[in-house]
Amino acid sequence: MDLGLTGRRAIVTGGSKGIGLAVAAELVAEGASVAICSRSASELAAAASSLGDNIFHQVCDVTDAAAVKSFVDSAAAALGGVDILVNNAGRAHPGNFETLSDEDWRADLDVKLFSQIRCFRAALPHLRASTSPRVVNINAVYARQPDPAFFSTTVVRAACLNLNKVLAQEFGADGILVNSVNIGFVDTPQWGNIHARRAPTQDRTEFLDGLAAAEVPLARFGRVDEVSGLVAFLAGARASYITGAVIDVAGGMGKYV
């Protein structure tokens, strides 16, 4: 299937590893030029090298509005514009209500909700100049399936889904399509943090397998390429009448209609 991504210009936040790196690789394979960012210069350089030509990369902390604007504007200059924004930056922050401090809450809001706001704001002038602008927000099943063990994720990602919907409504007249991909248990480096906080004495594979057996109908963790394929589709020409949608990539994990 030709997704119509040849020659398109894409920004992927959190693009140095995990889902972000897989999305960047998928877009490159489909013929897009891609800009990636992350907080780690060494990880970013390694990722850019692995992706080959047509890659722009810049260190950027998505909790810093000035850094976000600098990255987006520099990426637009390097690529000749921006057609696609993939908001993937985020981090795992497990904990229940009693264990989460105010600082934990602020950090989670900043890196999840406000990063999407900042990146969309910075990219908006460039997206308006595109003939087929697309925004894909990476969110989580817990936005619609509350879980006290991931308390802040449940609350913050619910706000992200509302942001996704109102952006699609407000900017539909500009032709900007905004959609969300809700992930469940996908094997990424972030699970190292969750494992360390929830079960540091348990073997990592045993910990992940136990979670999947208890929560996922397909009884396994997903792969990053199982997410990136859908992101590429939503960024492409075949998704031209899809906006405001929330699509799960979670192995049947979402217990809702």
- Domains detected in the chain: 9-184+224-248 (3.40.50.720), 189-221 (no CATH)
Note the pLDDT of residue 192: 86
* pLDDT tens, position by position, 84-98: 999 999 887 788 999
pLDDT reading at 133 higher than 90: yes
Average pLDDT for 154-167 = 98
* pLDDT tens, position by position, 59-75: 999 999 999 999 999 99
* pLDDT tens, position by position, 181-232: 999 999 998 888 889 888 999 999 999 999 999 999 999 999 999 999 999 9
| Res. 77 pLDDT band, cuts 50 70 90 | very high
Amino acid type, 180: S
pLDDT reading at 173 higher than 90: yes
Residues 177-194: b if buried by 16+ CB within 10 A, e if exposed: bbbbbbbbbbbbebbeeb
* pLDDT tens, position by position, 36-53: 999 999 999 999 999 998
**Residue 204 · residue 195 · CB < 8 Å:** yes
pTM: 0.96
Q: What is the mean pLDDT of the chain?
A: 96
Distance CA 252, CA 257 (A): 11
Least confidently predicted of 12-16, 178-182, 197-201: 197-201
| Res. 99 pLDDT band, cuts 50 70 90 | very high
Q: Which residues contact 161 (CB under 8 A, 6 or more apart)?
A: 139, 143, 144, 180, 182, 246
Note the pLDDT of residue 198: 86
